[in-house]
Structure 1
Amino acid sequence: MMRIALYLLTNLAVVVVASITLSLLGVNSYFAASGSGLDLTSLLIFSAVFGFAGSLISLFISKPMAKWSARVKIIDQPTDQRERWLLDTVKELSDKAGIKMPEVGIFPAQQSNAFATGWNRNDALVAVSQGLLTRFRPEEIRAVLAHEIGHVANGDMVTLSLIQGVVNTFVIFAARVVGYLVDSFMRRSDGSGGLGFGYYIVVFIAEIVFGIAASAIVMWFSRFREYRADEAGAELADRNSMIAALQRLKSEYEVPNQMPDTLVAFGINSGFKQGLKAMFSSHPPLDDRIRALQKQ
């Protein structure tokens, strides 16, 4: 119930922010006042406001949402030697990367997993699963932490949010242009004015089609940034340890039902996907990541 409420509140926030922004920009409609067609400038502004509003709001609330959804326990004061080592290691790696130390947390999952999130490189969160801390060797945990800090230092969360905003803008803009053109062609013979029902149907279908294509572009960028984070992990920690951590993950993926498809952080869910599935995966296959590190 809480998740549904948060989803609805997020969407309401997008609508409110976008509406206020459009009002301040003086954009009331993207149809020409004379009724002669689309006002492409107004449509572009409309598309950009709604396209970026969702991605940026999601970025700004990403850290509290991650804490809540993964039930992350933030380590403010270490209660044992392991937590002390975790804080010290993150501090060392973040200093080496030239960023402010992120918040550090542990979440109660038995799968080996980790993630980093936050709206900027100096206000981030790095969290690791209980399972990873239990089964990985210290040097492998350090490599995983270096990978996640690499994401933060590279500004990957901001970069992907901006890319998402751009593709959202394209989807909204292109779908409405296609919808208007198709609707105009369908109504050309009867000379009726205004928009027909076909406009809304075509816009709906076009947004789905363009949205799928746009998702493939965003996922390509995400996979590219994973290679960059692996390189950062190898530089901040140790290349052999980074490779060993990926190989250990691979061995866990090979155990049936060990790693569920819902995990998409360091414990990627795309280890063996091929074809179209691989196009929509946020992470490259583990074998490809290992080979990339071995070649450097």
Structure 2
Amino acid sequence: MGKRFMLFILTNILVLTTIMIVWSLITMYTGIGEGGFQDGSGILGIDYVALGVFSLIVGFAGSFISLAMSRWMAKTMMKVKVIDPGGPMSSQERMVVEKVHRLSRAAGLMHMPEVGIYNSPEVNAFATGPSKKRSLVAVSSGLLQTMDDDAIEGVIAHEVAHVNNGDMVTMTLLQGVINTFVVFFSRIAAILASRLAPNDGVRIIVHIASIFIFQILFSILGSLVVMAFSRYREFHADRGGADLAGRDKMAHALRSLKSYVDRASVKDGRDDTAIATMKINGKGGISKLFSSHPDLDERIRRLEEQ
């Protein structure tokens, strides 16, 4: 579900911003760095080769650092309780661990993912981690309280499929490309904006401020591509989940999730926090472009057409 992608994107933005702050401070106090992108060559006097190399290094560094931090970040932000398979467990915890391990073995994973539960009323689950060897599958307490055994198995199979498909690594490569373009074009825009400043002192301030403004703007635009990729991979994970748990259980999980969303929407007359977090409300328009998940009816339809 949407937690995996939203946490990764948030971490990526924080890491990329930190790198930019450090680099800007180095530039400000040493006078190196920015001048290397303006040597009078090329259109507008910008050295596009130097800027391109810099953007590539920073872009992919930010993306891979985010991937390395993904499991730790998820545990910290969601307050996930990791279950020790060799230690004492409640019957509910044992059920989750057994399902994750059984489905992981069915998927051919050589290393079992960490299994966790986080306390939240939302009906949700996610898988994350830098590799198949160091992955995490976590489910919410709300999901365990709301769904029956078959639906829970379908949801877990979907998340195990994400791990087996290597979706986090694939998304990291995509995010690295997006980051490269974000850094590249935000620097060009900042250079052009700084040239409007009346003197050197103001120019430095305008340049640094412009970098962050344009970087945030271009990151938002870039997230449209990442979200489109996320929606595509959800269909793929549904198929993988159907292969692992059976199509009936996977379809039942999606229908159970839709039933929960419909009940909550009717009860409140609006999308509550849990539904908004899942990004699966099926709304159209611009909000659909920023959704990490496709419409549930469409997911059910495609699964049944297999």
Question: Normalising to structure 1: TM-score of the pair?
Answer: 0.80
Number of the residue aligned with 1:272: 282
Q: 2:128 aligns with which of 108, 114, 117?
A: 117
Higher relative contact order (CA 8 A, sep 6+): 2
How far is 1:262 from its partner?
5.6
Number of the residue aligned with 2:242: 234
Aligned residues between the structures: 277
* Counterparts of 2:178 and 2:108, CA distance in 1: 31
How far is 1:109 from its partner?
1.5
Cα RMSD of the aligned pairs, angstroms, is: 3.4
How far is 1:145 from its partner?
0.6
Number of the residue aligned with 2:255: 247
Classify 1:153/1:32 alpha carbon distance in 2 versus 1 (closer, same or farther; 3 Å). closer
How far is 1:130 from its partner?
1.4
Q: 1:15 aligns with which of 9, 13, 19?
A: 19
* Counterparts of 2:40 and 2:128, CA distance in 1: 46
Classify 1:274/1:193 alpha carbon distance in 2 versus 1 (closer, same or farther; 3 Å). same
How far is 1:72 from its partner?
1.4
Determine helix, strand or coil for the equivalent of 1:61: helix
Determine helix, strand or coil for the equivalent of 1:122: coil
Alignment of 1:217-232 (within 5 A): 217-232=225-240
Whether the aligned pair in 1 keeps the contact of 2:83 and 2:93 (CA below 8 Å) is yes
Number of the residue aligned with 2:29: none
Per-residue CA distance 1:160-218 (angstroms, 9 max, x = gap):
1221121111011123334546777x79xx9x999957766765554444333211111
Classify 1:32/1:175 alpha carbon distance in 2 versus 1 (closer, same or farther; 3 Å). closer
Determine helix, strand or coil for the equivalent of 2:117: strand
Number of the residue aligned with 2:158: 147
Whether the aligned pair in 1 keeps the contact of 2:121 and 2:274 (CA below 8 Å) is no
Pairing 1:42–2:50 present: yes
Pairing 1:85–2:99 present: no
* Counterparts of 2:112 and 2:187, CA distance in 1: 44
Unpaired runs of 5+ in structure 1? 1-6
* Counterparts of 2:208 and 2:17, CA distance in 1: 24
Identity %: 42
Whether the aligned pair in 1 keeps the contact of 2:15 and 2:66 (CA below 8 Å) is no
* Counterparts of 2:17 and 2:53, CA distance in 1: 18
Q: 2:36 aligns with which of 15, 18, 31?
A: 31
Whether the aligned pair in 1 keeps the contact of 2:59 and 2:180 (CA below 8 Å) is yes
Question: Normalising to structure 2: TM-score of the pair?
Answer: 0.78
Number of the residue aligned with 1:292: 302
Unpaired runs of 5+ in structure 2? 1-10, 27-31
